[in-house]
Amino acid sequence: MSSAKASYTKAELLAVMTSRLLEDKKTVFVGIGLPMAAALLAQLTRSPALSIIFEGGIIAPELKHGEMPLSTNEVRAGRRAMAFCDITDIFLYQQRGYIDYGLLGAAQIDQYGNINTSVIGDFHKPKVRFPGSGGANDIASSSTRVLVTLIHEKRRFVEKVDFVTSPGYLTGNNSRIDSGLIFGGPFKVITDLGIMGFDQKSKRLKVEAIQSDATIEQIRDNTAFELLIADTLEIIEAPTKDELEILRKIDPEKVMLRGN
């Protein structure tokens, strides 16, 4: 192993961390951008038998490296798929229980893992309008384990989101189940500073692991609410040279991992 530290962007770091959580032989509902890079990386490393599902109604495609789709409803996303179905039906497979992992990004997330991708401010007179749920609400409601990936910033980690687009554990404790959401739920929140799970009882975010170059103070400073901290904190292994090389081969133009 080389002692020189590999250099990588925040987006690359997030994609690698997400890919490591995707177990082999499972199904994963994948959105455009970072989740797609993460799922493909997982397939080429730990999880060769991971099946990708896209909302366009696409089951188990084989994407062409360097030809990344710009939407999950376009021809490139469907390359060498095993089956196509209607959009409504792909989400119904998910509601039926066929999707093991759902990958989500977020504009804002709160202490219970609720996600906002709709509005800042009032819904009908928003200060800032985002594009909306798309399939995110459905993934958060019905996939078995939800992984949320985002950059760790105070403005994104808020005590209460302006608008709950996609449900986490709502107001904590049993509120998710009480609302009728008896399946699924957020599993891990992955950031450039660490990985968080949820306290079993209160359902509040709990730091379980920190990135190799981050500190717990950094995580606290970049979070606008009080985070629970696990008794023993795992230090996460930085992205390896191999992981980064594969990632860059999948998406040489950084179509999926723009910025940062």
Shortest Cβ 167–other proteins spacing (Å): 5
Shortest Cβ 21–other proteins spacing (Å): 23
Would you tell me which residues interact with other proteins (CB under 8 A)? Answer: 32-33, 55-58, 64, 67, 70-71, 73-76, 78-80, 84-88, 91-92, 94-95, 114, 118, 123-138, 141-142, 163-167, 170, 175-176, 179-183, 255
One DSSP character per residue, the chain reads --SSPPP--HHHHHHHHHHHT--TT-EEE--SSHHHHHHHHHHHTT-TTPEEEETTTEES--PPTT---SSTTSGGGGTT-SEE--HHHHHHHHHHT--SEEEE--SEE-TT--EE-SEEE-SSSEEEE----TTHHHHHHHSSEEEEE----TTTB-SS-SS-SB-SSTTSTTHHHHTT--S--EEEEE-SSEEEEE-TTT--EEEEEEETT--HHHHHHT-SSPPEEEEEEEEEPPPPHHHHHHHHHH-TT-SSS---
Residue 3 or 88: the one with the smaller Cβ distance to other proteins is 88
Alpha carbon 130 to its chain's center: 18
164-10-190-128 Cα dihedral, nearest 10 degrees = 0
Shortest Cβ 196–other proteins spacing (Å): 21
Residue 51 pairs in a beta bridge with: 27
Residue 34 or 41: the one with the smaller Cβ distance to other proteins is 34
Shortest Cβ 88–other proteins spacing (Å): 3
Shortest Cβ 155–other proteins spacing (Å): 16
Residue 67 or 245: the one with the smaller Cβ distance to other proteins is 67
Shortest Cβ 118–other proteins spacing (Å): 6
Residue 67 a catalytic site member: no
Q: How far apart are CA 240 and CA 234, in angstroms?
A: 17
Strands 58-59 and 51-54: antiparallel
Among residues 12, 55, 208, 243, the one annotated as catalytic is 55
Catalytic residues: 55
